[in-house]
Chains A and B, each alone.
Chain A
Amino acid sequence: MTGEDAVTTKNILAVLLLLCVGACAGSVKFRDPNMDFGSIQKVAVLPFTNLTRDEKASDRVRDVYMNMLMATGGLYLLPPGEVARGISRAQLADRTAPSEEEIKRLGGVLGVDAVMTGVVKEYGEVRSGSVSSNLVSLSLQMFEVKTGKVVWSASSTKGGVSTMDRLFGGGGKPMNIVTEEAVIDLINKLYK
Chain B
Amino acid sequence: MTSSTSYTSKAILVLIAGLVFLSGCSATRKEVTESPSTLPHTIFKKSLYDLPIAVLPVENLSGNTAPLKNIRKTLIESLKARRFKVLEEELLEEFMARHRLRYIGGIDGTTAKAFREETGAGSVLITSLELYDDSTQPKIALISRLVSLNASPVILWMDSVGLAGDDAPGFLDLGLIENPVVLRNKALRSLSVSLAGSLSEKGDRDSAEEKRKKFRPKIAFRSPAFVPEARHTVAVIPFFNESLRKYAGEIMQLHMVQEMAKVENIKVIEPGVVRKELLAFRIIMEDGISLAQADIAWEALNADLLLTGKVMDYQDYQGADGAPVVDFSLLVMERKGREVGWASKSYNKGTDGVWFFDMGRGRTASAMASEMARIVRGMMWK
Contact = CB atoms under 8 A, between A and B. Distances in A.
Interface of A: 47, 56, 59-60, 63-64, 66-68, 70-71, 73, 76-77, 79-85, 88, 174, 176, 180
B218 interface: yes
Contacts of A76: 339-340
A59 B242 contact: yes
Nearest to A68: B219
Interface string B86-109: 000000000000000000000000
11 contacts: A63-B345, A67-B345, A68-B219, A70-B343, A71-B343, A76-B340, A79-B331, A81-B289, A85-B286, A174-B349, A176-B347
Interface stretch (B6-14, B45-53, B290-298, B314-322): B290-298
Interface in B299-340: 310, 312, 327, 329, 331, 333, 339-340
B146 to A, nearest CB: 32
Contacts of A83: 287
Nearest to B348: A176
Q: Which 6 A-B pairs have the closest CB atoms?
A: A81-B288, A84-B287, A85-B290, A71-B221, A84-B286, A67-B345
Q: How large is the interface on B (under 10, 10 to 19, 20 to 34, 35 or more residues)?
A: 20 to 34
A167 to B, nearest CB: 23
B181 interface: no
A70 to B, nearest CB: 4
Given A56-B242, A64-B219, A176-B327, A82 B290 contact: yes
A85 B293 CA distance: 10
Contacts of B190: none
Given A63-B345, A64-B345, A71-B343, A79 B333 contact: yes
Nearest to B224: A73
Interface string B339-378: 1100111010100000000000000000000000000000
A175 to B, nearest CB: 10
Residue from A47, A68, A76, A85 having most chain B Cβ neighbours under 10 A = A85
Contact of B219 (A47, A71, A80): A71
B182 interface: no
B218 A63 contact: no
Given A56-B242, A59-B242, A85-B286, A67 B343 contact: yes
Contacts of B290: 79, 81-82, 84-85
B291 A82 contact: yes
Nearest to B291: A82
Given A79-B291, A82-B290, A60 B333 contact: no
A59 B343 CA distance: 16
Nearest to A85: B290
Given A56-B242, A80-B310, A84-B288, A63 B329 contact: yes
Given A63-B312, A63-B345, A67-B344, 11 more contacts: A47-B287, A59-B242, A60-B312, A67-B219, A79-B290, A79-B331, A81-B290, A81-B291, A84-B286, A88-B286, A176-B347
A83 to B, nearest CB: 7
B168 interface: no
Contacts of B312: 56, 59-60, 63
A81 B293 contact: yes
B245 to A, nearest CB: 13
Chain B CB count within 10 A is highest, among A80, A88, A174, A180, for: A80
A80 B349 CA distance: 26
A24 B301 CA distance: 55
Interface string B235-252: 000000010000000000
